[in-house]
Amino acid sequence: MKVKYLRLSKDEQKKVQEKFYSTEEGRLVKKYTRISLIMGLSLIGFAVYFSLDAYFNHLSKLYYLYSAILVVIAFIFIFAVRNLRVTKLNNTIIKKKKKNSR
């Protein structure tokens, strides 16, 4: 499936977003993507905290491993949110074009 959403101009993208987020599914997707984004950012914050704590308190190198794992999980959350949002918006464009072509 081609990603038509990313090929649109900024104005067209905003129109598609407004249309999608005005639906019930769009409101739910927006809510859960915000929660996932906040979780990803908070995981990055915890990773920085663990790294600084390990550095200043001369703790084991294992804490640096924990930090690295948290950062990887955080980036998975953040990229999954972006991928989900683009997929849903792309499906909205495809559905609209199918309706117009009939």
pLDDT by 10s per residue, the chain, length 102: 567 888 888 998 898 889 889 999 999 999 999 999 999 999 999 999 999 999 999 888 899 999 999 999 999 989 999 898 888 888 888 887 667 766
Residue 52 pLDDT: 93
Farthest CA pair distance, the chain: 68
Distance between CA 102 and CA 12 in Å, rounded?
22
| 67 part of a folded domain | yes
The pTM assigned to this predicted structure is: 0.75
Report how many domains make up the chain. Answer: 1
Question: Does residue 42 belong to any structural domain of this protein?
Answer: yes
Amino acid at 59: L
pLDDT at position 1 is 52
Residues 6+ apart with CB under 8 A from 50: 63, 64, 66, 67, 70
Helix axes 62-101, 24-56, angle to 10 degrees: 160
Residue 77 counted as domain residue:
yes
- Domain span at residue 37 reads 24-95
